[in-house]
A and B are shown apart, each in its own frame.
Chain A
Amino acid sequence: MKRTGILIGALWLGLCANARSQSLSLGLAAGGFFPREQTYRDVYGSSFPLEFEVRFGLIKNLGLAAGVSYINDSGQALNIGQGQDSYAVRFKMVSIPLSAYLLFPLNGLSLFGGAGASVHSYEETWQTVSISNTGNTTKPFIYAGVEFRVLSRVSARLTLRYENIDAGENPALAREINLGGLTLLAGVSVRIF
């Protein structure tokens, strides 16, 4: 898994180095994550990821993007039955998405869509019981969005991303847990050059 991440990173950097860079943008976004996993929704509800992104415009419509995304949620373990106790739990996930995208200018707006892979590192901890589960995985994702220029170097962006993240089995549930879902991000990006 780690090797896959390194390979993707190397490929991405290689493309950047060999391309005649036309633009470089930095972006910051926040929004909502709508998990496909029912257990996630029950325990943590929807969550609010933060994401920092670097984008290289390589040629006219093609670019590469990299970033860091962070989720930090707290919730209560599901109470199955009529138990009187409650257990606080916390979930953190750091993701490093690497992707290629296409940009389509359209009447002052730009539509974009892309695909790539994210390296995810996650940890779930029970606050009062000695239970902690960690994991790493690399999974593909797709996204699309719209961008419009607010100032000469500043743009506002709206991005919708879908991920499918099989993350192993919960033995008590006897089935696989999926950390994927839809992420809707709103943010700004600043073009450096």
Chain B
Amino acid sequence: MSVKTLKLVPIALLAAAIVGAFPSAEPVHLIRIDKGDARLWGTLTREQIDVVQELRTCYLARADRNDIAAVRDAGASVDVIERNIRDISFLLLPSITAETRASLGRAGKLAAVEQEISLFWADAGDPAALLPAGLSWKPLPSTSLLPFLRPSDRPAPQSVVGGVRNDIVDRIVADVSSSSLRSLVQKLQDFRTRYTATPNCDAAGQYIFSYFVGLGLNVRFQDVSYGAGVSRNVVAELPGKVYPKDVLIVSGHYDSTSDQRTSLAPGADDNASGTAAAMEAARILIRYPLDFTVRFIAFTGEEQGLLGSKVYAQDVRSRGENVIGVLNLDMIAYADKLPEDLEVIANNASDWLAAKFVAVSGAYGLIQANRIIDSSAVFSDHSPFWDRGYSAVLAIESVTGANPYYHRTTDTIDTLNFEFYTQSSRAALATLAELGQPVRPGYPATPSGLTATSYLYVSLFGAVKNIELIWPASSGAAGYNIYRSDVSHLNYAKLNGSPLARPSYTDREVTADVSWFYVVTAVGPTGLESNSSIEVHVLPSMAESGSSSARQLSFAVGGMR
């Protein structure tokens, strides 16, 4: 070996050390993880897998080879959809025709991820630009949703016990006016197009803003970037009298599209109908103060990949707002026959809200609402709320006998069925009012500040919890009632016999590994019972993943309604 060669050895060693100290980034792949085993969630959480979408049968995730190995080691079925995806944008598409499939296959890459759901992407550029006009889509989130996805917190109700009708809600429902809805839809249609970021769309947004202002609501615009331009969500708020920081949302997107989208997209059903129903709800509820805050939101950019709702949901999550539930109304006015059903679609975590909607609609004799649990129904403005861990449902006309004018210039007011539309609007408003709780003059004040503390006792095979509930005394209260349920906002059963004299209660020896939901009411001297307090959610007690000691148990109490 020559001296020159020997001199190169330390240089080579130094270079190797530098390379070793700064290893090249591990390639990230897009994978599909079959939901299969119920214990999969524990694995995803433990391994901190970047789940970017939950669907009906699978999760989509960004993962490197170590993540993939960990998930496979846990027994889950994993398919790699695309390798090395660092700068690739993916779009989720609903069922598409064979012709569209062939066309997209030529323009980019297409992969079926489950029945009726495909992913579309291109090696370079924006894949949305390659889509045919009128196709619904959702951009696949690029950041992990894992912190927000909590699939088991709110169990599905097995059955729903019939509720009691509230006389004020009865009046609210009766106030929904078919002619008022017709007038609002006509006004929105008269903008000719509400295609996002067109001047007409901006004008429609301004009209909705002014309408809410005219009602006396707090209203604001929220800017939403679209291409080089900006469009605007319209957000109106009716503050709650008891729980101003706890929010219910009724929404509809006001933008529209068609094959002549910049000149003629009347969008009467899609979605002047949902927007007008939210506006009509505001017109009525302004006269009925509620315990909880209600927001009436007209989203923009829905047809461009849920732009407006995505920005809004991210915003409320980043501000840590307690959004109790979202009723997203999208196409609720077309019926090919009567009677027509209304579909109420939820993911697993929002099942309680769909069940509540169906129960309320039934209790008030409004419309046949069908509760559908489908995490793959991600093509409307409820989906970004799911992605941020909020409960949200989509109310939409039956897919059987679908609107033939969908995304066409012929989606006009004369094709709508106002009998069906009025009833579906009433069902949504009744649900909103039941959750928001109209203030009842002469009744004791609604208790506020309910908190729950959970004490867990564990043996080898058993566990019980003692749950201590405390709340501040309510004015005008002679006593209190405590109600408990194992599903959120439904099926409450009273725990106490006669009203409690003191504002506290301990629920002893309850099952530890399920969710419990509590509300308290105040009872006046004459026996009148107040509205319910905010619901507190006592989470199931679970060991931390990989725990080897009972002392590492985590137990949590949620204050979210």
Give chain A's interface residues, CB within 8 Å of chain B: 37-40, 42-43, 75, 77-85, 87, 89, 91, 124, 126, 129, 131, 133, 135, 167-168, 170-175, 177, 179
In chain A, what residue has the closest Cβ to B461?
A133
Q: Are A129 and B509 in contact (CB under 8 A)?
A: yes
Task: Give Cα A75–Cα B462 distance, bound, in whole angstroms.
Answer: 13
Q: Are B460 and A81 in contact (CB under 8 A)?
A: no
Give chain B's interface residues, CB within 8 Å of chain A: 42, 454-464, 466, 508-509, 512-513, 540-543, 547-551, 553, 555
Known contacts A38-B550, A175-B543: does B462 contact A83 (CB below 8 Å)? no
The A interface is mostly helix, strand or loop, or mixed, namely mixed
In chain B, what residue has the closest Cβ to A42?
B550
Known contacts A37-B460, A177-B461: does B454 contact A42 (CB below 8 Å)? no
Task: Give Cα A82–Cα B456 distance, bound, in whole angstroms.
Answer: 9
Q: How far is the CB of A124 from chain B (nearest CB, A)?
A: 5
Q: Are B461 and A168 in contact (CB under 8 A)?
A: yes
Q: How far is the CB of A37 from chain B (nearest CB, A)?
A: 7
In chain B, what residue has the closest Cβ to A177?
B460
Point out the residues of chain A lying under 8 angstroms from B508, CB to CB.
Answer: 85
Known contacts A42-B551, A171-B513: does B456 contact A81 (CB below 8 Å)? yes
Known contacts A38-B548, A38-B551: does B455 contact A126 (CB below 8 Å)? no
Task: Give Cα A126–Cα B549 distance, bound, in whole angstroms.
Answer: 20
Q: Are B461 and A83 in contact (CB under 8 A)?
A: no
Point out the residues of chain B lying under 8 angstroms from A171, CB to CB.
Answer: 463, 512-513
Task: Give Cα A91–Cα B555 distance, bound, in whole angstroms.
Answer: 25
Q: Are A85 and B457 in contact (CB under 8 A)?
A: yes
Point out the residues of chain A lying under 8 angstroms from B460, CB to CB.
Answer: 37, 39-40, 43, 91, 124, 133, 167, 170, 177, 179
Known contacts A124-B462, A129-B464: does B457 contact A80 (CB below 8 Å)? yes
Known contacts A42-B550, A43-B460, A78-B458: does B513 contact A172 (CB below 8 Å)? yes
Task: Give Cα A39–Cα B542 distance, bound, in whole angstroms.
Answer: 14
Task: Give Cα A167–Cα B513 distance, bound, in whole angstroms.
Answer: 18
Q: Are A78 and B455 in contact (CB under 8 A)?
A: no
Q: What are the 8 tightest A-B residue pairs by CB atom distance, in nearest-first order?
A: A83-B455, A172-B463, A133-B461, A171-B513, A77-B457, A80-B456, A39-B550, A131-B462
Task: Give Cα A80–Cα B550 distance, bound, in whole angstroms.
Answer: 8
Q: Are B457 and A133 in contact (CB under 8 A)?
A: no
What 7 additional pairs, Cβ within 8 angstroms, besides A38-B550, A42-B550, A133-B462?
A78-B458, A83-B457, A91-B460, A133-B461, A171-B513, A172-B512, A173-B542
Q: List 21 A-B contacts (CB under 8 A).
A: A38-B548, A43-B458, A77-B463, A78-B458, A78-B551, A80-B457, A80-B541, A80-B553, A85-B466, A87-B464, A124-B460, A126-B459, A133-B462, A167-B461, A170-B463, A172-B458, A172-B513, A173-B553, A174-B542, A174-B543, A175-B543
Point out the residues of chain A lying under 8 angstroms from B553, CB to CB.
Answer: 80, 172-173
Q: How far is the CB of B431 from chain A (nearest CB, A)?
A: 33
Q: How far is the CB of A85 from chain B (nearest CB, A)?
A: 6
Task: Give Cα A177–Cα B463 distance, bound, in whole angstroms.
Answer: 13
Q: Are A83 and B551 in contact (CB under 8 A)?
A: no
